[in-house]
Chain A
Amino acid sequence: MVNHSPRRSTRRSFLAGTGAVAAGLTFLPKDGWSAEEKKLNFYNWDTYIGETTLADFKGVTGVDVSMDLFADNDELFAKLKEGNPGYDVIVPTNDYAERMITAKMLMALDHTKIPNIANIAKPFLNPKFDPGRKYSLPYMWGTVGIGYRKSRVDGVPNSWKALYDSNKYSGRIALLGAPSKVLQVGCKYLGWPLNEADPAKLEKVAEMLIKQKPHIKVFAEDNGQDLLLSGEVDLTMEWNGDILQVMAEDKDISYVVPDEGGLLWEDTLAIPNGAPHPENAHAFINYLLDAKAGAAIADFIQYATPNAAAKALMKTEYTGNPAIFPSDAVIARCETAIYQGTEYTQLIDRLWTKIGAA
């Protein structure tokens, strides 16, 4: 199943990030949980942790955290597919977490060692992709919606119709280049569940997109926000984090999750099987879910936190920003993608190929 990262980095950070991924891991034998060495290997997205979080954690526990960066879920998955090269804590997005659970790549979490679970908001405690949170805990979440240029669009584009089923903005639209995301949101627009797996219905979505194709300028691979910023398109389907970046540069850009609802994503904290320091990993996850530490992270990276205690500490510029926290009514209509097996993935890819070839 496809999942381009919520914050598919811009090309600038991507180029820097690829170079920054270094090895430097230790493979010391683990000699019992109590006598774990004071080290931890954290595999994370770029710019996705508080400025001082790692140093603060060392101050509290004495554990040295070394952080490696990955650019997208495919990279994370590929690295762990053939066995864990030495990571203790990883940050997969929900459907990749589910894929890893299915493939038995994650270690069951010991909830008694993570008391800060109590800080997490209720709706995040029992997701479909990990019932009972046995293998993963929520880190940050967000949505896929419409980024748009206010001066070139009539009012607020609060329906997916503007992108999926209308010639009103012909030639000024970009959709994501992510097959499953585009088809799933198309299901939402037609009033079906996001994870609709009926081939006939998905076929209908594909037909609608084929009809809409002449009006779509591009399926943006990694750069919908850049296209919006440079005036190439006026509406783009994008991850909220990417649009937030360009909203800071251009006041004419805004973001909305349409009334039909959209895709909700969640990045999770998990411990891969074979982690050399599982005890430290539990302590680290517990620390990240702490109210103060969580607030410091959210304040720095500006993503929505699932940590209710941390959110309570934040200023209203953050908690009141609709691009970070859509209204409860909209969230109620959003859904997370679940992993639906090989046949579904193949069907999605075939339909996507068909849309491109039509």
Chain B
Amino acid sequence: MESWRRNPLVFWIIGLPPTAWLLGFFLIPLALVWVLSFAELRGVVDMEVTGTLSNYARAIDPLYLQIFVKSFVFAGLTTVVSLVFGFPVALAIVFAPRRWRALLLLLVILPFWTNLLIRTYALIAVLRTRGFVNFTLEWFWDQANAVLSLIGLGSLQLLGGRFEPLELLYNNTAVVVGLVYVHLPFMVLPLYASLEKLDRSLIEAALDLGASQLHAFRTVVVPLALPGIISGSILVFIPALGSFLTPDLLGGTDSQMIANVIERQFKSANDWPFGSALSFLLMYLTFGALALRALYSRRTAGQGRG
């Protein structure tokens, strides 16, 4: 491959459109939001950029910090659950017969062919009080009762007088379930990519040398899949942190995440400067978390070498 220095024209032709795109549709709008976060409201529609820090002062109020923490917990839980479910899936795809792999990967990506809003409403139809999960449970309940009355125990009402549906929707569990459902493919794909490159003779060697299956998994597979685990976790964690649709539609009275607060500032509360400050605070916190993580991994890597 030739260096771009020797072929500057090709470089510019290829490099210019994405750069312009990035500048026009990402950096400039982002800069505008950043500037707005130092503005003050003047009446109903007008804002004046005064360089004030009052929006940030309001944003670091314990009330909002508490919601930041809660959002981090939600996103963290989502990441862990996605990893626990995603790892076996990725492993299974890697070890599946070669002709099946493409199909299995397609199945992982398939949900993306449907709009997020529609998928979330579908999940509501599954989980609600009169949804498919409860219909199924009720059917089993009816069958069990029929068997009980057949053997003469029907009058005892062993299973209760009336089927009590499970409350699966409108709570924090539903939010995490919804977030995992939406973000799982982002975990599976990077895991698959790194596991696919894994040299299987290493696992065989570990087993030959007397390691148990679990031990081999822990000391050989996981460390080698670490890059996939890390990029998958980041790909799940960051969008989960900024979700507002899922907590809105699946959550109960307790499920407010920081993105819901931010969304309200741009709509009903009509307070764009405060919303901008909250957005940037969220971004700084995310960067901070990633930087900490990078620092930590560098230090542990250093220890390993020493």
Contacts and interface: CB of A to CB of B under 8 A. Distances in A.
Contacts of A348: 269
A357 B256 contact: yes
Interface string A126-161: 000000000000000000000000000000000000
Contacts of A230: 128-130
A231 B129 contact: yes
A74 B267 contact: yes
A178 B248 CA distance: 12
Nearest to A80: B45
A44 B143 CA distance: 53
B41 A342 contact: yes
Contacts of A74: 267-268
Interface in A1-25: 1-4, 11
B271 A345 contact: yes
Contacts of B249: 221
Most chain B C-beta atoms within 10 Å of own C-beta, residue among A99, A219, A221, A231: A219
Contacts of A99: 44
A81 B47 CA distance: 12
Contacts of B44: 99, 102-103
Contacts of A355: 253
Size category, B interface: 20 to 34
A163 B66 CA distance: 27
Nearest to B274: A346
Given A179-B264, A217-B170, A103 B45 contact: yes
B35 to A, nearest CB: 17
Interface string B106-133: 0000000000000001000000111000
Contacts of A353: 63-64, 67, 256, 261
A234 B253 CA distance: 17
A105 B43 CA distance: 13
Contacts of B274: 346
Contacts of B129: 230-232
B167 interface: yes
Contact of B271 (A81, A218, A221, A349): A349
Contacts of A105: 45
Contacts of B265: 349
A102 B269 CA distance: 16
Residue of A179, A231, A348, A349 ringed by the most chain B CB atoms within 10 A: A349
Contact of A357 (B67, B130, B167, B170): B67
B270 interface: yes
B277 interface: no
A339 B45 CA distance: 13
| Residue of B43, B63, B248, B253 with highest tally of chain A CB at under 10 A | B253
Given A103-B44, A218-B170, A213 B254 contact: yes
Contacts of A357: 63, 66-67, 70, 256
A355 B264 CA distance: 14
Interface string B137-181: 000000000000000000000000000000101100000000000
A102 B43 contact: yes
A348 B66 CA distance: 18
Nearest to B270: A345
Interface of B: 41, 43-45, 63-64, 66-67, 70, 121, 128-130, 167, 169-170, 248-249, 251-256, 260-261, 264-265, 267-271, 274
11 contacts: A2-B267, A74-B267, A171-B167, A178-B268, A179-B268, A216-B253, A217-B252, A218-B170, A218-B252, A231-B130, A356-B254
In the A-B complex, the 9 residue pairs with the smallest Cβ-Cβ separation, listed nearest first, are A2-B268, A356-B256, A349-B269, A103-B44, A218-B170, A213-B253, A103-B45, A74-B267, A216-B253
Given A232-B130, A349-B268, A353-B256, 18 more contacts: A3-B268, A103-B44, A179-B269, A180-B268, A213-B253, A217-B252, A219-B253, A232-B128, A232-B169, A342-B43, A345-B271, A346-B271, A352-B264, A353-B64, A356-B254, A357-B63, A357-B66, A357-B67
